[in-house]
Amino acid sequence: MNRPAEFAQSGIAVIPKGWKLVSLKEIAELKNGERPLMDNMGSIPIYGANGIMGQSYDSLVNKDYTIIIGRIGASGEIYLAKGKIWVSDNAIYTNDYRKKDIFLPFLYFLLLFRDLGQYSTKTTHPIITQNFLKNFRIILPPYPEQKKIAEVLSTVDQAIEKVGEAIEKTQRLKKGLMQELLTKGIGHKEFKDTEIRMIPKNWGVRKIEEISLDFVSGGTPSTPNKKYWNGDIPWMTSAFITEREIRAGQRYITKEGLKNSATNIVPKDNLVVATRVGIGKAAINRIDLAISQDLTGVIIDKKQGYPEFLYWA
């Protein structure tokens, strides 16, 4: 009601005038892929329902752009390829399309947005059919606008990819620094061999228990008992450990819940380690913290061990 004159109702959404509603079969020819000719020595990518699945020495398609749609299994997944490719028989692809009417990268982004996977059959092996796709209706802007929209989204995609690459490089750098700093330290010239590895001459090897004052076990107050919960004592399970430091509880228990269960409090500025579920996860608790049975508190002798160093180690 009272929509601006420059917009119109399409049946799917309110769209700008000049845009139109079409089915895929009006703008593209779809075909099922074929059993791939696998060859590890080949250089032509083979696309399946899950993306690139190998290489071939031969191509099934050679277009400026090709859209691949997962048919069986990862049905509805969308990929955009260029040049020579092979498409396996568990996917559907655009064998041809009306270049004057559709800019294929735009169609790729549009189909991603429409989430074709939601239309696949809900069976053990989900499937989306070529017949369904041919009759699938989409909103189509004029060609120049399609190109502009696709260019904007492609730029965003490239930026995301660069951020991902930067994160991966930073993670590799961090791993390398950990290897260097936690085994060789800073500025050491003399080293000695130990039961663990070669370490700086003035470093030592200790068991955790030798630098700990105590180990604290955990438990969970009875969840149906309302008197045990919604108190002011922070409590946590291993599932909630997602960062290096713990500064808040996953839930909060009462003094009565603490008294009538196996949980115990780990004094702040010590280590909490997952020993049952999510084994190996660790964090420094910056608050006094009650813990569940899948965690163990390690009370560090601060004269011998620095909690932050032990966390990284």
Read off the pLDDT of residues 284-309 as tens digits, 9 standing for 90 and up: 999 999 999 999 999 999 999 899 99
Do 35 and 91 lie in a common domain? yes
Do 160 and 187 lie in a common domain? yes
Contacts 24+ apart (CB under 8 A), 251-258: 253/221, 253/228, 253/229, 253/290, 254/227, 254/228, 254/229, 254/230, 255/231, 256/227, 256/228, 256/231, 257/221, 257/225, 257/227, 257/228, 257/229, 257/231, 257/233, 258/221, 258/233, 258/290
Residue 97's domain comprises 7-141
Q: Is residue 7 very low, low, confident or very high in pLDDT (cuts 50, 70, 90)?
A: low
Task: Give phi and psi for 121, each to the nearest 5.
Answer: -65, 140
Do 270 and 148 lie in a common domain? no
CATH number of the domain that residue 49 is part of: 3.90.220.20
Q: Do residues 10 and 80 make contact, with C-beta atoms less than 8 angstroms apart?
A: no
Residue 176, judged by CB atoms within 10 A of its CB (0-12, 13-18, 19+), counts as exposed
> In this predicted model, what pLDDT tens digit does every residue of 115-166 receive, in sequence order?
998 988 877 778 999 999 999 999 899 999 999 999 999 999 899 989 888 9
> One-letter amino acid identity for 149?
I
Do 75 and 128 lie in a common domain? yes
User: pTM for this structure?
Assistant: 0.59
Return mean pLDDT, the chain. 90
Q: Is residue 2 part of a domain?
A: no
Do 148 and 137 lie in a common domain? no
Do 14 and 122 lie in a common domain? yes
> In this predicted model, what pLDDT tens digit does every residue of 31-71 receive, in sequence order?
999 998 777 678 899 999 999 998 888 899 999 999 999 99
> In this predicted model, what pLDDT tens digit does every residue of 224-274 receive, in sequence order?
999 999 999 999 999 889 899 999 999 999 999 999 999 999 999 999 999
pLDDT at site 125: 77
CATH number of the domain that residue 170 is part of: 1.10.287.1120
> In this predicted model, what pLDDT tens digit does every residue of 161-216 receive, in sequence order?
898 889 899 989 988 988 889 889 999 999 999 998 899 999 989 999 999 999 99
Do 38 and 161 lie in a common domain? no
Do 177 and 246 lie in a common domain? no
Do 130 and 44 lie in a common domain? yes
Q: Is residue 251 part of a domain?
A: yes
